[in-house]
């Protein structure tokens, strides 16, 4: 029996509805694979911010550090600016724990209709590897002359050799284990310093993987190809901003944001990695028990894979696929009428 200590941060809104679903599925698959979980739940959220003035306590990162992995629901609450929740919780965790890979798999499941006509189940199966600790999301910059006609803002993008190399190496190794195809998102025609540097490093690292076919595409054309021909992709590597936008677009191609999972990985395992659905706290449906739990459940499967249990992880994704392919049980966002609990029960039965 292996035991893993998991930190649970349900967060706000539907985060608190989808995380219990993920936990039920983890426990069920754990029983079959002789994996036990001990959970520590933290109430870190925008609601906590409104109560006590911070998203997490001062020693929050130290309390997370002792866990094997972190499972997060979503944060965001009307009345709390989004940069507070992002920079008060998610970004400190990603950076302190060197979670430099944000991994977002995209699949069109049989039984779901993609809003994109050409996206056929089985054909669309790719992964976006987003750089997660530097790039366009930097703290360097500033504002001057606030309120004056010559007011200005400067935001510096930061690309380091170490930062780009490690995420590109991860993407190349992943492409090697998959179908051997890597697409690099760039914009070196318009962004003339950081993006040519990115391209050079991609070419340099790709030279060490002759078995991977590596192509680069400008981000604007690439966005169009995600819609026009999503089946052509295997692994896509992108900077922080480009990867953020591409992966939400890809989630929509797959049938909706409620399905999409993500992993914030520290591949070396020096620090805990964090797993979270791509969607936010969805205040418009929070509290109704109708949130789609697939994104959270699939994220839990990614956690199992990262912790060294690929068979248990595959059991979960197979169970999701089976429910969608063989039943009409679906939550409202996918055109059904099942509640979060009803859909989760169907996944548990399939398991």
- Residues of this chain that interact with ligand NAI (CB under 6 A) are 14, 18, 74-76, 82, 85, 90, 257-258, 276, 279-285, 291-292, 295, 331, 333
To ligand NAI, the closest distance from the beta carbon of 229 in angstroms equals 25
Yes or no: say if 135 and 241 are a contact pair by the CB < 8 Å rule: yes
**Is residue 220 annotated as part of the catalytic site, yes or no?**
yes
213 is written with which tokens? 């076919």
Residue nearest to Mg ion (CB): 244
The Cα 219–Cα 211 span in angstroms is 24
To ligand NAI, the closest distance from the beta carbon of 111 in angstroms equals 17
Ranges of H-type helices in the chain? 15-33, 46-52, 60-65, 82-85, 91-96, 161-177, 194-206, 219-228, 240-253, 294-306, 310-326, 340-350
* 68 is a site residue for Mg ion (CB under 5 A): no
**Is residue 234 annotated as part of the catalytic site, yes or no?**
no
Bridge partners, residue 142, by sequence = 154
Ranges of H-type helices in 1-144? 15-33, 46-52, 60-65, 82-85, 91-96
Q: Which does 244 bind (CB under 5 to 8 A by kind): Mg ion, ligand NAI, none?
A: Mg ion
The Cα 334–Cα 346 span in angstroms is 15
Q: Which does 292 bind (CB under 5 to 8 A by kind): ligand NAI, Mg ion, none?
A: ligand NAI
Using the structure block, give the residue that is written with the tokens 């309390």.
63
Query: How many chain residues bind Mg ion (CB under 5 A)?
Result: 1
CA distances to 176, 203, 213, 225, 280 from 208, rounded to whole Å, are 12, 9, 12, 27, 38
Comparison of 18 and 175: residue with beta carbon closer to ligand NAI: 18
Contact pattern from residue 302 through residue 341 relative to Mg ion, giving x for each residue in contact according to CB under 5 A and a dash for the rest: ----------------------------------------
To ligand NAI, the closest distance from the beta carbon of 315 in angstroms equals 22
The Cα 160–Cα 172 span in angstroms is 18
The Cα 120–Cα 107 span in angstroms is 10
Cα 257 from chain centroid (whole Å): 11
Q: Which does 14 bind (CB under 5 to 8 A by kind): Mg ion, ligand NAI, none?
A: ligand NAI
Comparison of 14 and 71: residue with beta carbon closer to ligand NAI: 14
Catalytic residue among 187, 305, 315, 333: 187
To ligand NAI, the closest distance from the beta carbon of 217 in angstroms equals 25
The Cα 159–Cα 178 span in angstroms is 27
Cβ burial, residue 283 (10 Å; 0-12/13-18/19+): middle
* 276 is a site residue for Mg ion (CB under 5 A): no
Comparison of 96 and 191: residue with beta carbon closer to ligand NAI: 96
To Mg ion, the closest distance from the beta carbon of 261 in angstroms equals 13
| DSSP-derived secondary structure letter, 134 | S
**Is residue 248 annotated as part of the catalytic site, yes or no?**
yes
Comparison of 134 and 276: residue with beta carbon closer to ligand NAI: 276
Yes or no: say if 12 and 75 are a contact pair by the CB < 8 Å rule: yes
Yes or no: say if 73 and 43 are a contact pair by the CB < 8 Å rule: no
To Mg ion, the closest distance from the beta carbon of 73 in angstroms equals 15
Catalytic residue among 62, 82, 220, 229: 220
To ligand NAI, the closest distance from the beta carbon of 75 in angstroms equals 4
Comparison of 171 and 282: residue with beta carbon closer to ligand NAI: 282
Comparison of 260 and 285: residue with beta carbon closer to Mg ion: 260
**Part in contact with Mg ion (CB under 5 A); list of ranges 93-101, 236-244, 254-262, 342-350:** 236-244
* 244 is a site residue for Mg ion (CB under 5 A): yes
Write out the catalytic residue numbers. Answer: 137, 187, 220, 244, 248
């Amino acid at each position: 029996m292996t035991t893993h200590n998991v930190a649970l941060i349900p967060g706000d809104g539907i985060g608190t509805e989808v995380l219990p679903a993920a936990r039920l599925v983890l426990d069920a698959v754990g029983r079959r694979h002789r994996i036990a979980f001990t959970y520590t739940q933290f109430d870190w959220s925008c609601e906590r911010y409104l109560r006590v003035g911070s998203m997490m306590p001062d020693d929050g990162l130290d309390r997370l550090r002792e866990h094997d992995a972190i499972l997060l629901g979503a944060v965001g609450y009307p009345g709390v600016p989004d940069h507070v929740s992002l920079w008060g919780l998610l970004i400190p965790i990603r950076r302190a724990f060197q979670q430099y890979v944000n991994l977002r798999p995209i699949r069109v499941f049989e039984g779901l209709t993609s809003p994109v006509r050409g996206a056929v189940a089985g054909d669309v199966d790719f992964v976006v590897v987003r750089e997660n600790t530097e790039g366009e999301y930097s703290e360097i910059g500033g504002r001057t002359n606030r309120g004056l006609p010559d007011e200005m803002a400067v935001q510096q993008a930061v690309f380091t050799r170490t930062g780009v190399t490690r995420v590109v190496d991860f993407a190349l190794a992943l492409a090697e284990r998959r179908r051997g195809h890597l697409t690099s998102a760039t914009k070196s025609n318009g962004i003339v310093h950081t993006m040519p540097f990115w391209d050079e490093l991609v070419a340099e690292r790709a030279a060490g993987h002759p078995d991977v076919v590596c192509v680069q595409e400008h981000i604007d054309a690439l966005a169009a190809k995600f819609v026009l021909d999503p089946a052509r992709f295997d692994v896509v590597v992108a900077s922080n901003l480009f990867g953020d936008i591409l992966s939400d677009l890809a989630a929509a191609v797959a049938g909706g944001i409620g399905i999409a999972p993500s992993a914030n990985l520290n591949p070396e395992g020096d620090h805990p990695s964090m797993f979270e659905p791509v969607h936010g706290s969805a205040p418009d449906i929070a509290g109704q028990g109708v949130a789609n739990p697939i994104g959270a459940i699939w994220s839990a499967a990614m956690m199992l894979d990262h912790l060294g249990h690929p068979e248990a992880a595959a059991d979960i994704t197979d169970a999701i696929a089976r429910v969608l392919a063989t039943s009409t049980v679906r939550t409202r966002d996918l055109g059904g009428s099942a509640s979060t609990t009803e859909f989760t029960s169907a996944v548990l039965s399939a398991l």
